[in-house]
A and B are shown apart, each in its own frame.
Chain A
Amino acid sequence: MTSADLVTILPALIVAVWGIILLVVDLWIPRSRKGLTALLAAIGLGAALGVSLSLFPARQSGFNTMTVLDGFAIYADIIILGSALLAVGISYDFLRKLNIHRSEYYTLMLLSTSGMILMAHAFDLIVVFLALELLSIPLYVLAGFARPRPDSEEAALKYFLLGAFSSGFFLYGVALIYGGTGTTALAQIVKALAAGTLLNPPLFLVGAALLLVGLAFKVSAVPFHMWTPDVYQGAPSSVTAFMSVSVKAAGFAALLRVFVQAFPDLAASLTPILWALAALTMIVGNLLAIAQNNIKRLLAYSSIAHVGYLLMAFVAYGNGEVVGDAVAAILFYLAAYGLTSFAAWGVVLAAEQLEGRGLEFKDYAGMGRKYPLLGLAMIAAMFSFTGIPPTLGFWGKFYLFSAAIQAGHMSLAIIGLLTSILSAYYYLRVLVVMYMQPGEPVASQTTWVNVVTLVSAAAVVLLALFPSSLINLAQQALMWLVSG
Chain B
Amino acid sequence: MLNPLILVTFFPLVGVVVLALIPAAQKAALRWTALLTSLVTLGLSLWVAAVFRVGEPGLQMDTPLAWSQVGGVEIGLRLGIDGLGLLMVLLTTILTPISILSTWEAVQERVKGFMIFFLLLETGMVGVFLALDLVLFFIFWEFTLVPMYFLIGMWGGERRVYAAVKFFIFTMAGSVLMLLAILYMGIQGGTFYLPSLINSREVFAGAQLWLFLAFALAFAVKVPMWPLHTWLPDAHVEAPTAGSVILAGVLLKMGTYGFLRFNLPLFPEASVQAAPWMALLAVIGILYGAFVSYYQRDMKKLVAYSSVSHLGFVMLGIFALNQQGIAGAILQMVNHGLSTGALFLIVGMLYERRHTREMEAFGGVWKVLPYMGALMLIVTLSSAGLPGLNGFVGEFTILLGAFGSTAINSIWMVGAATLGVILAAVYLLFLYERVFLGAIRHEENRHLPDVSVREVLVLLPLLVLIFWIGLYPRPFFDLINPTVQSLLPALQTAAAAIR
Mark contacts of A285-329 with chain B using CB atoms, 8 A cut-off: 1 yes-contact digit, 0 otherwise: 000000000000000000000000000000000000000010000
Q: Point out the residues of chain A lying under 8 angstroms from B68, CB to CB.
A: 395, 467-468, 471
A435 to B147, CA, bound (A): 13
Q: Which residues of A241-292 are within 8 A (CB) of B?
A: none
Check if A432 sits within 8 Å of B165, measured CB to CB.
yes
Whether B466 is near chain A, meaning CB under 8 Å from some CB there, is no
Check if A390 sits within 8 Å of B154, measured CB to CB.
no
Whether A193 is near chain B, meaning CB under 8 Å from some CB there, is no
- With A388-B143, A388-B146 given, is the CB distance from A413 to B180 under 8 Å? yes
Q: How far is the CB of B302 from chain A (nearest CB, A)?
A: 26
Q: Point out the residues of chain B lying under 8 angstroms from A468, CB to CB.
A: 66-69
Q: How far is the CB of A31 from chain B (nearest CB, A)?
A: 42
Check if B168 sits within 8 Å of A428, measured CB to CB.
yes
Check if A410 sits within 8 Å of B180, measured CB to CB.
yes
- Stretch of A77-85, A224-232, A419-427 with 4 or more beta carbons under 8 angstroms from chain B: A419-427
Whether B453 is near chain A, meaning CB under 8 Å from some CB there, is no
Check if B180 sits within 8 Å of A424, measured CB to CB.
no
A401 to B178, CA, bound (A): 12
Q: Point out the residues of chain A lying under 8 angstroms from B135, CB to CB.
A: 398
Q: Point out the residues of chain A lying under 8 angstroms from B161, CB to CB.
A: 432, 436-437
A418 to B177, CA, bound (A): 9
The answer, among A369, A399, A403, A405, for a CB contact under 8 Å with B180, is A405
Check if A417 sits within 8 Å of B179, measured CB to CB.
yes
Mark contacts of B238-274 with chain A using CB atoms, 8 A cut-off: 1 yes-contact digit, 0 otherwise: 0000000000000000000000000000000000000
Check if B177 sits within 8 Å of A435, measured CB to CB.
no
Whether B169 is near chain A, meaning CB under 8 Å from some CB there, is yes
Check if A390 sits within 8 Å of B165, measured CB to CB.
no
Whether B172 is near chain A, meaning CB under 8 Å from some CB there, is yes
Mark contacts of A439-452 with chain B using CB atoms, 8 A cut-off: 1 yes-contact digit, 0 otherwise: 00000000000000
Whether B378 is near chain A, meaning CB under 8 Å from some CB there, is no
Q: How far is the CB of A320 from chain B (nearest CB, A)?
A: 14
Check if A402 sits within 8 Å of B187, measured CB to CB.
yes
Check if B154 sits within 8 Å of A436, measured CB to CB.
yes
Mark contacts of B170-195 with chain A using CB atoms, 8 A cut-off: 1 yes-contact digit, 0 otherwise: 00110011011001101100000000
Q: For B109, give the chain A residue with the smallest CB separation.
A: A369
Q: Point out the residues of chain A lying under 8 angstroms from B177, CB to CB.
A: 414, 417
Considering residues B68, B143, B186, which has the most beta carbons from chain A within 10 angstroms of its beta carbon?
A: B68
Whether A383 is near chain B, meaning CB under 8 Å from some CB there, is yes
A383 to B172, CA, bound (A): 12
A402 to B185, CA, bound (A): 11
A394 to B165, CA, bound (A): 19
Whether A406 is near chain B, meaning CB under 8 Å from some CB there, is yes
Whether B129 is near chain A, meaning CB under 8 Å from some CB there, is no
Check if B180 sits within 8 Å of A436, measured CB to CB.
no
Check if A401 sits within 8 Å of B142, measured CB to CB.
no
Q: For B70, give the chain A residue with the smallest CB separation.
A: A402
Q: How far is the CB of A99 from chain B (nearest CB, A)?
A: 36
Please classify the interface of chain B as helix (H, G, I), strand (E, B), loop, or mixed, using the class held by over half of its residues: helix
Check if A401 sits within 8 Å of B154, measured CB to CB.
no
Q: Point out the residues of chain B lying under 8 angstroms from A406, CB to CB.
A: 71, 187
Q: Point out the residues of chain B lying under 8 angstroms from A432, CB to CB.
A: 153, 161, 164-165
- With A413-B180, A425-B169 given, is the CB distance from A390 to B139 under 8 Å? yes
Whether B160 is near chain A, meaning CB under 8 Å from some CB there, is yes
Check if B143 sits within 8 Å of A398, measured CB to CB.
no
When A and B form their complex, what is the total count of cross-chain residue pairs whose Cβ atoms lie within 8 Å? Answer: 89
Whether B353 is near chain A, meaning CB under 8 Å from some CB there, is no
Q: For B186, give the chain A residue with the smallest CB separation.
A: A402
Check if B70 sits within 8 Å of A398, measured CB to CB.
yes
Check if A428 sits within 8 Å of B150, measured CB to CB.
no
Q: How far is the CB of A390 from chain B (nearest CB, A)?
A: 6
Check if B160 sits within 8 Å of A436, measured CB to CB.
yes
Q: Point out the residues of chain A lying under 8 angstroms from B140, CB to CB.
A: 389
Q: How far is the CB of B184 from chain A (nearest CB, A)?
A: 6
- With A402-B187, A417-B177 given, is the CB distance from A435 to B139 under 8 Å? no
Whether B110 is near chain A, meaning CB under 8 Å from some CB there, is yes
Q: How far is the CB of A229 from chain B (nearest CB, A)?
A: 24
Whether B145 is near chain A, meaning CB under 8 Å from some CB there, is yes
A432 to B154, CA, bound (A): 9
Q: Point out the residues of chain A lying under 8 angstroms from B66, CB to CB.
A: 468
Whether B219 is near chain A, meaning CB under 8 Å from some CB there, is no
Q: For A429, give the chain B residue with the smallest CB separation.
A: B165
Whether B149 is near chain A, meaning CB under 8 Å from some CB there, is yes
Check if A417 sits within 8 Å of B180, measured CB to CB.
yes
Q: Which residues of B56-73 are within 8 A (CB) of A?
A: 66-71
Check if B176 sits within 8 Å of A417, measured CB to CB.
yes
Q: Point out the residues of chain B lying under 8 angstroms from A418, CB to CB.
A: 176
A388 to B179, CA, bound (A): 12
Q: For A398, give the chain B residue with the smallest CB separation.
A: B70
Check if A388 sits within 8 Å of B154, measured CB to CB.
no
- With A402-B187, A417-B176, A436-B154 given, is the CB distance from A424 to B142 under 8 Å? no
The answer, among B139, B146, B153, B176, for a CB contact under 8 Å with A383, is B146
Check if A421 sits within 8 Å of B172, measured CB to CB.
yes
Q: Point out the residues of chain A lying under 8 angstroms from B143, CB to CB.
A: 388-390
A28 to B169, CA, bound (A): 57
Q: How far is the CB of B305 from chain A (nearest CB, A)?
A: 26
Q: Point out the residues of chain A lying under 8 angstroms from B67, CB to CB.
A: 467-468
A398 to B67, CA, bound (A): 15
A401 to B173, CA, bound (A): 16
Check if B139 sits within 8 Å of A402, measured CB to CB.
no
A315 to B143, CA, bound (A): 30
A390 to B71, CA, bound (A): 20
Check if B150 sits within 8 Å of A388, measured CB to CB.
no
- With A432-B165, A436-B154 given, is the CB distance from A402 to B183 under 8 Å? yes
A428 to B153, CA, bound (A): 11
A112 to B174, CA, bound (A): 44
Q: Point out the residues of chain A lying under 8 angstroms from B70, CB to CB.
A: 325, 398-399, 402, 471
Q: Which residues of A431-484 are within 8 A (CB) of B?
A: 431-432, 435-437, 467-468, 471
Q: How far is the CB of A433 from chain B (nearest CB, A)?
A: 10
Q: For A414, give the chain B residue with the smallest CB separation.
A: B180
- With A325-B71, A369-B110, A421-B176 given, is the CB distance from A405 to B150 under 8 Å? no
Q: For A425, give the chain B residue with the smallest CB separation.
A: B169
A399 to B161, CA, bound (A): 32
Q: Which residues of B124-174 are within 8 A (CB) of A?
A: 135, 138-140, 142-143, 145-146, 149-150, 153-154, 160-161, 164-165, 168-169, 172-173
Q: For A464, give the chain B residue with the smallest CB separation.
A: B139
Q: Point out the residues of chain A lying under 8 angstroms from B184, CB to CB.
A: 405, 410
Please give 16 more A-B residue pairs, beta carbons under 8 A apart, in addition to A421-B173, A432-B153, A432-B161.
A325-B71, A388-B142, A389-B142, A394-B142, A401-B179, A401-B180, A401-B183, A405-B183, A405-B187, A406-B71, A410-B184, A417-B180, A424-B168, A437-B161, A468-B67, A468-B69
Between A and B, 29 residue pairs with Cβ closer than 8 Å are A325-B70, A325-B71, A383-B146, A388-B142, A388-B145, A388-B146, A388-B172, A389-B139, A389-B142, A390-B143, A395-B68, A399-B70, A401-B183, A402-B70, A402-B71, A406-B71, A413-B183, A418-B176, A421-B176, A424-B168, A424-B169, A425-B165, A428-B165, A431-B153, A435-B150, A467-B67, A468-B66, A468-B68, A471-B69
